[in-house]
Structure 1
Amino acid sequence: MIDFRYHLVSIVAIFLALAVGIVMGTTLLSSPAIESALQTAQDLRKSNNDYREQLGALQARETGNDSFVTAEMPAVIRGQLTGERVVLVAAPGSSGTLREQAEQVLVEAGATISGQVTLTEKYVEPSQANFIDQLTSGLTSLTSPGTDPYKNAASLLAASLVTADDTQAGTENTATVGVLDGFEKAGLLTVDGTPAKRATLALVFAPETLFTGEKAQEQAGALVSLAAGLDAGAQGAVVTGTIASTQPGGLIAALRDTSDAAAKVSSVDTLDMPAGRAVIVFAAREQLSGRSGQYGIGADAAEFQPASSAATPSPSTSGS
């Protein structure tokens, strides 16, 4: 049997341990440790305040730059695309607001917008490839370029929308009458304006969201094929979007990863910047001279703008 003295000793030992712990804890957390923690917290607060000030300054600087570019843009791009016709091709999921802003800039540069073709999700759905191939074959007697359904469709749509011959600009291709109607009735695209009255240049708008999953490569590839087909049938083609499109699963990323297409089709990944929309104009004009480039601030962009941006524009239409 445990007697009272044992309990007393145990209780004293417990309180003694607590006292020692309190003393040691107070000693350890005294001056050096506490001062160090306070100094670290103060340094972090100062760093955060500095970063906020830097961010504010950068935002103010960007706002000022955008304001200046927007105000001066008409003078900078005036006459760059005089006499040219441009067809707008919108991928599913592209921004309507950004398309309208780009269209305004093209008009200020002297271009005429022939119309707009908006692709549907069905067009880029890989399971529809055979259907698209059959539709393409049934709508034309033109020779198909190969066995790839999307390349064949791109070739046919290009023949309906664009021309490399200035004398044919603004006219319909008698060999492709009914093609756009056929694609529209099939639920593959919608038409605004008169894009069948062919343009000399094509501007393709990338989706705002990235393609994901197992089908991503095929979906982006379908759009790359269309851009390449339009370029081959016109005096040039430019793909544009935001920096998001330069990430894996984006149209511009897919284009820049495709050496054959990237060697001919230009891209601009700064559609959401006033300066970037001016670059679209310069990239389109560069296409007219038979050159191409990848421009912007995203992955694989060679530079922000074409080196020939400051060149004096031609007073009349030109073809590559």
Structure 2
Amino acid sequence: MISLRRHVLTLVAVFLALAVGVVLGSTSVATSIRDAVVDREETTAGQLETTQKELNDSRLAEDRLDALAGDVTPAVTDGRLADRPVLLVVAPGASAEEVDAVAEAISGAGGIDAGRIRLTDRAVDPEADSELSALVANLPIGDAPAADADLGTQLGTALARSAMLRSEDAEPHLEDDDRATVLTTLADAEMIAFEPGTIRPGQLAVVVTGPVEDEAAAVRIASLSSTLDSEGAGVVVVSGIRPGAGTDTVVTLRSSGQEDVSTVDSGGTDAGRLATVLALAEQLERGQGDYGMRQDASAAVPSVPPRP
């Protein structure tokens, strides 16, 4: 007969064996987990290092190509806009640096500075819509836009008639007094701003834009740009590359599928300035394209046309 003492010793031995097994098993599992984590960390570190190298190589290639664009721009663009007055329209969100760069590129191509008109925040503020509509309706701009036209079209018509040349004969839309009245009235209502005495009718226009918080503002500027294009000889809309900065007019125009206004999405780069000048020259021939570095661009820059 087995004694109670032997029963106890047997149970102790069993539990001791189980405890030893658990310890050995957990140590083995812990070692496996540790090894797996180390392997994963090494793999992730290697992937990050490879990705960083590829990113650095891409940035270096982009910088070199942009430097090349800067080197060839003077020779390629010289005289492309000779004697062509170009109006600069600065929309909310535009970078002052990009505006100056565009102006410099136009000057370098022989273009004539037709002045700068800045669209204020009120020009795209829904709370000022009724005032803007009533204002345009009473301006001496000739044939008014349709009564149901959106406000981008209405404001674009007023600006085009007062600050651009007709597409058919490169003559002003309005007499000088009416032009001055329209611009002054819009400025007094704080819809636009400009330096008095600096605006002359432009044959072409560049609308420099930037990211906006409200998509409706981008839509309005896009509509205004299209109206300027229809009333003049051509329009190029320029914006910089700002990843994650929100929507802008370039995105709006490209997504709409329109084929009248040209767009450039890299306005702050040498390649963007080259693209802007060549796009303006292309507009004179009623060509159109979407240029820059974003995925929805058709090419980095327009094809270089032969010299006339």
Structure 1 residue 167: Cα displacement: 5.7
Counterpart position of 1:24: 25
1:153 aligns with 2:155: yes
Q: What is the identity, as a one-letter code, of the residue corresponding to 1:180?
A: L
Contact kept? 2:120, 2:191, Cα under 8 Å: yes
Contact kept? 2:141, 2:162, Cα under 8 Å: no
Structure 1 residue 174: Cα displacement: 4.0
Counterpart position of 2:4: none
Counterpart position of 2:136: 136
Counterpart position of 2:53: 53
Which structure 2 residues correspond to residues 227-246 of structure 1 after superposition, within 5 A? 227-244=225-242
Structure 1 residue 158: Cα displacement: 0.4
- Cα offsets for 1:257-290 (capped at 9, x unmatched): 334xx22111111212211210111110011011
Q: What is the identity, as a one-letter code, of the residue corresponding to 1:99?
A: V
Contact kept? 1:204, 1:237, Cα under 8 Å: yes
1:110 aligns with 2:105: no
Structure 1 unmatched ranges of 5 or more: 1-6, 315-320
Contact kept? 1:204, 1:238, Cα under 8 Å: yes
Structure 1 residue 11: Cα displacement: 9.5
Contact kept? 1:133, 1:150, Cα under 8 Å: no
Contact kept? 1:173, 1:196, Cα under 8 Å: no
Contact kept? 1:253, 1:299, Cα under 8 Å: no
Q: Measure the CA separation in 2 of the matches of 1:226 and 1:133.
A: 14
Contact kept? 1:164, 1:233, Cα under 8 Å: yes
Matched-pair identity in %? 23
Counterpart position of 2:123: 123
With 238-247 and 46-55 compared, the bigger mean Cα shift is at 238-247
Secondary structure of the 1:291 match is: coil
Q: What is the identity, as a one-letter code, of the residue corresponding to 2:140?
A: T
Q: Measure the CA separation in 1 of the matches of 2:16 and 2:166.
A: 95
Q: Measure the CA separation in 2 of the matches of 1:306 and 1:66.
A: 15
- Structure 2 length normalisation: TM-score? 0.85
1:73 to 1:11, Cα distance in 2 relative to 1, 3 A: farther
Q: Measure the CA separation in 2 of the matches of 1:191 and 1:85.
A: 17
Which structure 2 residues correspond to residues 60-209 of structure 1 after superposition, within 5 A? 60-140=60-140, 142-147=142-147, 148=149, 149-164=151-166, 168=171, 173-192=176-195, 194=197, 196-207=199-210, 209=211
Q: Measure the CA separation in 2 of the matches of 1:130 and 1:14.
A: 87
Q: Measure the CA separation in 2 of the matches of 1:301 and 1:172.
A: 39
Contact kept? 1:246, 1:299, Cα under 8 Å: no
Q: What is the identity, as a one-letter code, of the residue corresponding to 1:210?
A: V
Q: What is the identity, as a one-letter code, of the residue corresponding to 2:164?
A: V
1:232 to 1:47, Cα distance in 2 relative to 1, 3 A: same
Structure 1 residue 115: Cα displacement: 0.8
Counterpart position of 2:284: 288
Aligned length: 299
Q: What is the identity, as a one-letter code, of the residue corresponding to 1:273?
A: T
Structure 1 residue 296: Cα displacement: 2.3
Contact kept? 2:152, 2:222, Cα under 8 Å: no
Structure 2 unmatched ranges of 5 or more: 1-7
Q: Measure the CA separation in 1 of the matches of 2:177 and 2:121.
A: 28
Secondary structure of the 2:122 match is: coil
1:81 to 1:15, Cα distance in 2 relative to 1, 3 A: farther
Q: Measure the CA separation in 1 of the matches of 2:104 and 2:60.
A: 25
Contact kept? 1:210, 1:248, Cα under 8 Å: yes
Q: What is the identity, as a one-letter code, of the residue corresponding to 1:263?
A: E
Counterpart position of 1:277: 273
